[in-house]
Amino acid sequence: MSAVETPHFIRTIEWDMMDKTKFFPLSMLSSFSVRCCLYPLTVIKTRLQVQRHNHMYNGMLDACKKIYQVEGLSGLYRGFWISSIQTVSGVFYVSTYEGVRHILGQNDVIGNIDSRIKSLIAGGAASLVGQTIVVPFDILSQHLMVLGINNNKHGRYIDKMGMNPLGLILEPGKSRAQISADIIRSIYQRDGYRGFYRGYVASLCAYVPNSALWWGLYTSYQEELIKVFPEWVSHLFIQALAGTLGGFTTTIITNPLDIVRARLQVQRLDSMFSTFKVLWVEERLQMFTKGLSARLVQSACFSFSIIIGYETIKRFSIVEEYKGYIRW
């Protein structure tokens, strides 16, 4: 028996309760599937965030319609294969989250810590590790997201929004690999290796609090919802609802930081402070809600899907010893 006490039913499946040979492959498959389904929302959100005022898109639905009309379905999946590499970083993210929770849960290390605090600290640490790995791929995928191809006789992209700071000219015959290589070459020529970590601090400032808050709120909402719902309600449903509410709350709080991160990485601004200044001059109070509708929809879908997948995988990966204590 593990040092972890087994109550009437296990609310949180801990790191030492799982078979890792099942957990890691299933976790990667789940993460890739969710990313594949929800990626168009990421493209829409990014374009809404980096456009000046509403020069091209008036909200989420308008952006979706125009991207599809001009660029087809591939426009909504621009940069997907580069972004999908982040699935690998997800393994490090989850390992860090669960590992830190496990360490904080050891009584002889720190003492008893509230589960919400454990989740908050572990979520922040996981994001720190994940962002260190993923920022270069994030930068590349964002440049791909904001590039559109106009179907004029020259087949050249015309930048009317200031969204192509690298000055790239895209020809219709180029493959995804060739376009990606052009962007990598342009970033390196302008900034060297540092260019691939442009906005790294901004990413940490946006995503570390986001991740910490989301996991902390997820645990808090879950504990409160368990008290509200009768026992016959599915525990997995309660967890998915808690994740969605946590995602909504976190998104509203951290939206300005995410806009600053996107602008800094794509439009090559000097610093977080100068990016805030530019946003304030251009948008005023709308800077707090820019791209928020797309982020809220993305966050709700992502949080619900991730928790359903994540908690289901944990249930499938649990060792035989604890299977009788799991409630679906």
| Domains parsed from the chain with CATH numbers | 15-325 (1.50.40.10)
How do residues 274-288 score in pLDDT, each as one tens digit?
677 777 777 666 666
How do residues 298-325 score in pLDDT, each as one tens digit?
788 888 888 888 888 888 888 888 887 8
Residue 245's pLDDT is what?
Answer: 92
Among the listed residues 74, 71, 86, the one whose alpha carbon sits nearest the alpha carbon of residue 139: 86
Cα torsion angle, 299, 217, 32, 258, sign = positive
Q: Whole-prediction pTM value?
A: 0.67
Q: What is the mean pLDDT of residues 255-270?
A: 69
Among the listed residues 73, 92, 80, the one whose alpha carbon sits nearest the alpha carbon of residue 27: 92
Residue 172's pLDDT is what?
Answer: 58
How do residues 141-166 score in pLDDT, each as one tens digit?
777 766 654 434 343 444 444 445 55
Phi-psi region for residue 192, left (φ > 0), alpha (ψ -120 to 50) or beta?
Answer: left
Residue 240's pLDDT is what?
Answer: 92
* Residue predicted with more confidence, 231 or 51: 231
Residue 285's pLDDT is what?
Answer: 67
How do residues 15-70 score in pLDDT, each as one tens digit?
888 888 888 888 888 888 888 888 888 888 777 777 766 667 777 788 888 888 88
How do residues 294-305 score in pLDDT, each as one tens digit?
778 878 888 888
When pLDDT is cut at 50, 70 and 90, the band that residue 168 belongs to is low
How do residues 61-110 score in pLDDT, each as one tens digit?
888 888 888 878 878 887 787 777 777 777 888 888 888 888 887 754 55
Residue 44's pLDDT is what?
Answer: 83
DSSP-derived 3-state class of residue 78: coil
Report how far residue 248's alpha carbon sits from residue 285's, in angstroms, rounded to the nearest whole number: 20
Residue 53's pLDDT is what?
Answer: 63
Has residue 242 got a pLDDT over 90?
Answer: yes
